[in-house]
Structure 1
Amino acid sequence: MKFFKKAAIVASSLLCAVALAACGNSKSSKDSDAYTPKKLTVQFVPSSNATTIEAKAKPLEKLLKKELGIPVKVSVSTDYNTIVEAMGSKKVDIGFLPPDAYVLAHKQNGVKVLLQAQRLNVEGADNHSGNKKVDYYRSQILVRKDSGIKSIKDLKGKKIAVQDTTSTAGWIYPVVEMYKHGVNINKDNIQTVQVKGHDQGVLSVYNKNTDAAFVFQSAENLVKKDAPDIHDKVVPIYTTKKIPNDTISVRGDMSSKWQKKIAKAFKDIAKTKKGHDIISSVYSHEGYADSKDSNFDIIREYDKTAEKLDK
């Protein structure tokens, strides 16, 4: 009986070894079958004038090529939904996705978040930059100072400039927090006007084309050159809770090796003067930190509330 017991143990051990080897080969095979880029397509979404952003972001091509050793093409998407679809159809490898667009891209196409942007904190009535790097930002509802609009309830029956419905600061957060304050943007005689870029939202209020605008906090600073008196004319009536900062995300089938290379490249570029100047001018990014999908569960909670708006 002892012999048979020993034989069974040996056989069992051999089977385990074979199974483990198979599992190891399967994992290695899986990564070897993963997408390994020969060239990279990087796409941004327009938070302000799309042409200006593309011109500012283009120099990243050379910096990334130097870090990664393959050609890189940088472009700007027409809107948030377009970049989500492009990553799903594998036309775009890397997307600078705002939080809600990332959540959508992850759900629909398995897009993976690599990094989260760091920005300087915002302080004071004029929304000037502080000196502390943070991984969040906020949305604000802006109105003209002379409009008579003092609170969210005063927005009933008004015209509001908004961004795409997947824009976290330009739609999701402000409409959800309005809803929590008893104002439904779809049912309280509110007219929405979709504009492209938070700078256009600010200017629509400044020029009296709309009564209010949903923008990210400090968006007024985007137009100070053209409207030096912007802080005298346009003021926030509401500031939302914290929103996780923008992501650098990659298509879901990319190899883990290349995910790590890309994450390292962006972090290293952000530490150089030239690289920092580019990311700061494009999105006010100060650097990048490693991120994970669970950081965006708060966005999923807001999305669930947003779904109630039509009910």
Structure 2
Amino acid sequence: MRNRFIMMLVLAMFLVAGCGNQTRPFIDFSKPQPVDKNSSYATLDQRPIRIALATVISPNETIAHYRKIAEYISRHMGRPAVLIQRKTYEEVNMLLSNGEVDLAFMSTGAFCAYRGLTEIELLSMVEHNQTTLYKAQIIVHKDSDIHSFADLKGHTFAFTDPLSYSGHMAILELLKPQNIRPEQYFSRYLYTYSHDKSIWAVATKAVEAASLDSMIFDYAQARTPELTANLRTISYIGPLPTGPVVINKTLSSDQKDQLRTIFRNMHQDPQMKPVLSGLLIDRFVLPNAELYRPLQKIYDQSGGLT
């Protein structure tokens, strides 16, 4: 009897709560909201420029450098800049698709996989060691008896991000001729969502192998040689184009021109040289869209593999 009374009381409270919706604020997202003409950000050219990134090196290593770039853009555009950091490439792609950012630092794979609702344009691409190309690099522990990709069957593996080319799709492409999926080829696999975490996972034998960006491996060799000394490379895949900087296509022509000039000249500023170096960037150069076409076709054809 007591239990029945408690249940009836809870039900009554629920119904009362359900009847109170009239007093709650309601936002109809299907109706455009008017812009306050008195707002300091009344026009697109006045509001903060929104910059997105997903860190491929551990956030503590890179976020300070990206803040400096955001500040540099802000100074040269004469408007505030907002830096939006996300953990995964998909999250950044969603921000772009929803029109929630104006500019994004993208990985090669994330750009080639992008099929969002909002159109984007290539602004620039990264040049490192006088080239805009890099490779996917498959690493194992130095003590491992694995010497080729064929030897990896039945072993553990670390991917970086589902949308990464060097850290994921490149491996799926190696498996495609065999019509086999990663879960059938490897005994276990995981995603680290960071290239340097993949390096750590192999160096500490948390997994037996990983695939990652060769530029980041070179960076790790310079920064943490005691870690990479425990590793060995068994294969390279590539060359591949470096990750681009993209912009929302709806930006005004003046804004696009401003941003192109800013990125083209950034490396000439003495204060920005160490910032760019900390991100494995010598300078930003004009993008070559044709370099990405073959990889875009791979993502088009990947179907359920991604």
Shift in CA distance, 190/151, structure 1 to aligned 2, threshold 3 Å? same
Asked if the contact 1:117–1:285 (Cα under 8 Å) also holds between the matched residues in 2, the reply is yes
SS at match of 2:205: coil
Structure 2 match to 1:43: 52
* CA distance in 2: counterparts of 1:238 and 1:97, whole angstroms: 25
Q: Deviations over 1:47-97 (max 9, x none)?
A: 111233112221223211221111112232211011111112222111001
TM-score, normalised via structure 2 length: 0.78
Q: Distance in 2 between matches of 1:223 and 1:135?
A: 19
Alignment partners' CA distance in 2, 1:182 and 1:158: 18
Report the CA distance between 1:293 and its aligned residue: 3.6
How far did 1:183 drift? 6.3
Number of residues paired by the alignment? 264
Whether 1:258 aligns to 2:255 is: yes
1:1-311 aligned at under 5 Å gives the runs: 36=45, 38-105=47-114, 107-120=116-129, 133-180=130-177, 184-224=181-221, 227-282=224-279, 284-304=280-300, 306-307=302-303, 309=305
Question: RMSD between aligned alpha carbons?
Answer: 2.4
For 1:113 and 1:286, the matched residues in 2 are separated by 18
When residues 254 and 218 of structure 1 are mapped into structure 2, their CA distance, relative to the original with a 3 A threshold, is closer
CA pair 37-112 structure 1, distance change in 2 beyond 3 A: farther
C-alpha distance in structure 2 between counterparts of 1:62 and 1:73, whole Å: 9
Equivalent residue letter for 2:290 = S
Deviations 1:243-294 (A, max 9, x none): 1111110112112221121111111112222222212212x01111112543
Q: Alpha carbons of 1:41 and 1:154: their partners in 2 closer, same or farther (altered >3 Å)?
A: same
Specify the SS of the correspondent of 2:184.
Answer: coil
CA contact (8 A) 1:175 1:185 kept: yes
**Deviations 1:209-235, CA, capped at 9 Å, x for gaps:** 000011111433444578533343201
Aligned to 1:148, what secondary structure does the other structure show? coil
Identity rate, percent: 15
DSSP 3-state at the match of 1:254:
coil
**3-state DSSP of counterpart to 1:274:** coil
Which stretch of structure 1 is more off in the superposition, 178-187 or 234-243? 178-187
**Cα pair 1:155 1:190 within 8 Å, conserved:** no
Q: Is the 8 A contact 1:139 1:174 kept in 2?
A: no
Can you give the 5+ residue segments of structure 2 that lack an aligned partner in the other structure?
Answer: 1-42
Contact kept? 1:152, 1:181, Cα under 8 Å = no
- Per the alignment, do residues 309 and 40 of structure 1 end up closer, same or farther by CA in structure 2, a change over 3 Å counting? closer
Which SS does the other structure have where 1:44 is aligned?
strand
